[in-house]
Structure 1
């Protein structure tokens, strides 16, 4: 049996964030950060990337925390695994779209290795955590040798496989605001077979209703796998805002979202099929989010 071997590289395992940042600032060229390794190591074995240096962040415990505060919301360290997220009761109860995504990602073995930071920083269009985080208004905290900065999740992506992180920067944590009263969300993923597959389409919808739950005050919709990067469906959000949430309204939002999508045809699905399913899943996620509030 043919076994793919990793290319040669210099391995560094810092014990602190400061050590990691110092190494990255001194080795900006051909340096990759290792989190869970589910994407990077495969890419290296396939020679899609051949870094001279690999910085393993796994020894930095503070990056794996999941902390909830009723006023400030949720803070998820970049090394928190998808399994950590799936097992978190507070995420399941209060930040349900993210739990939905974790629950349909890969096999249990991969969920216990893959991290939320790695899933985002890989910047693949089909990243499952991106649409729910976009829908919930999440941001990321980034730390580098020149200081820290904060970005909405939708601004983290530059293009397929490319984030806006500088070579000497680390994604520290994901910040999700506390959901307001009368709000909920849902994430749906279209797959060919099972959770081991990448998303053909991913849609997350987050709704906030008025006090008597008769109409939508605010909507946020995140789409994955239907554009070069995960995106917001702003037009579809406008369709829902101020309206009574029902089958007709959800259908209209889905049709608008499908027009906002920019899918491609590849070996897994045609652009036309993906666009159609954006509409279907947007409607489904809208009605599920509404049901969870009611």
Structure 2
């Protein structure tokens, strides 16, 4: 099928979009910023009969906080995230990750909902969402449900979202008073390429002795979905966060990840880099804490 043979629909409301999706006779796919869609079309992987352009659904573009957490609309761009004082102060790891999503033009066009919906294990914002305990709200014409992010992804490019649903909200928990996050990425060209490995962490530290009282660690591009390094997380609580503990955690991280070899990197190289990114990220976190 040629691109010129595809039909493009631009709904003016969320309800209109859901009505189109509910028509199961049509093979349709959502397009927002288009940063992933253009690539997949060139690869002839995404060739639906109908593209549903939701770019102008501004009701799905927001960042605000209430008693349930911080809400981020699926049409919120990576630039919106980077420029949000609320996220910088209460979900800084997501801000750091959004800064690494491609070049400036891609950050301006690409959306958080698109990054989630594409379900790439290398998606830069996704490890950050894992350590922030994100919840994904899915909405259809007749129902709304909320899925914890760890249950949302089922494999590379695969999620639990139904064909008649859209991502209607992303909810993350605000970080605690003494909690800070770090995001690390390894790519062929800094900040403008698909991650070979990426890593996000958010830790709560004792205000004086630098003991970790809680922490989450997540790796991307080293498994079919994001990998939470739970064995490394358990080590965080054993002792003061210092050079010795960080190096021991880095060795354990090598064993926790489960990458494959592909055209971009071998499995062993990814294991080595996962270990290195954890070590570098925690050293950076210690420096930030000291400052």
Q: What is the TM-score with the length of structure 1 in the denominator?
A: 0.92
Q: Which of 59, 73, 78 is equivalent to 1:82?
A: 78
When the two chains are superposed, the root-mean-square deviation of aligned CA atoms in Å is 1.9
Q: How has the CA–CA distance of structure 1 residues 111 and 244 changed in structure 2, closer, same or farther, with 3 Å as cutoff?
A: same
CA distance in 2, matches of 1:258, 1:161: 25
The residue number in structure 2 matching 1:149 is 145
Please show how residues 173-192 of structure 1 align to structure 2 within 5 Å.
173-192=169-188
Show CA shifts across 1:154-193 (max 9, x none): 2221111112111011111211111112111100001122
Cα deviation, residue 33, structure 1 = 0.8
Work out the CA distance in 2 between the residues paired with 1:214 and 1:243: 9
Is the Cα–Cα contact under 8 Å of residues 206 and 289 in structure 1 kept in the other structure?
no
Residue 55 (structure 1) aligns with? 52
User: Unmatched 5+ residue regions in structure 2?
Assistant: none
Q: CA deviation at 1:5?
A: 6.0
Match of 2:87 in 1: 91
8 Å contact kept, 1:216–1:244: yes
- Pick the aligned partner of 1:121 from 105, 117, 129: 117
How far apart are the structure 2 equivalents of 1:190 and 1:42? 21
Native 8 Å contact 1:185 1:288 kept in 2: no
Does the alignment pair 1:217 with 2:213? Answer: yes
**Structure 2 CA distance, aligned partners of 1:193 and 1:106?**
10
Question: How has the CA–CA distance of structure 1 residues 182 and 20 changed in structure 2, closer, same or farther, with 3 Å as cutoff?
Answer: same
SS in structure 2 at match of 1:236: helix
Counterpart of 1:20?
17
The structure 2 residue matched to 1:39, chosen from 36, 46, 58, is 36
Shift of 1:145: 3.0
Q: 1:240 matched to which residue of 2?
A: 236
Q: Count the aligned residue pairs.
A: 290
Matches within 5 A, 1:64-83: 64-69=61-66, 71-83=67-79
Alignment partners' CA distance in 1, 2:135 and 2:209: 27
- Residue 231 of structure 1 aligns with which residue? 227
Paired residues of 2:121 and 2:156 also in contact (CA < 8 A): yes
- Aligned partners of 1:235 and 1:227: how far apart in 2? 16
Match of 1:30 in 2: 27
- Paired position in structure 2 for 1:292: 288
- Contact 1:185/1:205 (CA < 8 Å) preserved in 2? yes
Shift of 1:227: 0.5
Matched position secondary structure for 1:24: helix
Rounded Cα–Cα distance in structure 2 between residues aligned with 1:87 and 1:131: 20
Distance 1:95 1:292 in 2: 15
CA deviation vs aligned residue, 1:231-288 (integer Å, no higher than 9, x gap): 2111111111242111111122222222111111112111111101111111222233
List alignment gaps of at least 5 residues for structure 1. none
